[in-house]
Amino acid sequence: MKISLHGTPDFRFESKSPDNGYTFSIGASKSIGGDESGFRPMQVLLASLGGCSGIDVINILKKSRVDFDAVDVDVEGERKQGVEPSPFTRVKLTFKVTGRNVERSKAEKAVSLSVEKYCSAIASLDPAIQVETAVEIVEA
């Protein structure tokens, strides 16, 4: 796996996948001279955690024959303050499964399997980072 980034002096980066050509922008916060022109790197990390585990959850729900319309993932991260680097100390993923008669137990099992067994992005985190989850069922 490989990703290429091209940066300019104004703290803007374009990330590109040579595999499929997809791109996205990464930028810096105004506090260091950026203009917030893209995701900041730590936001990309949170999005990666949510995307990786979300893909797992969808896959597990489908295999469990759960009738659902959507899986939304909200990801919150808390970081150490006043130190450099300031890594995440806690990450919370909230999964909202929308569908008809979605069994809470199946949704919770899908989330648990993803976070504890299948999600490579979460497995790549420092073990000191506390990972929490919540599951909400939204009736369609």
Q: Where are the beta strands (DSSP E) in 8-123?
A: 13-16, 23-26, 68-79, 88-99
So where are the chain's domains? 1-39, 41-139
Rounded average pLDDT over 112-140: 97
pLDDT tens-place string over residues 72-120:
999 999 999 999 999 999 999 999 999 999 999 999 999 999 999 999 9
pLDDT tens-place string over residues 37-77:
899 999 999 999 999 999 999 999 999 999 999 999 999 99
Does residue 42 contact residue 28 with C-beta atoms inside 8 Å?
no
- For position 14, what pLDDT does the model report? 96
- CATH top-level class of 41-139: alpha beta
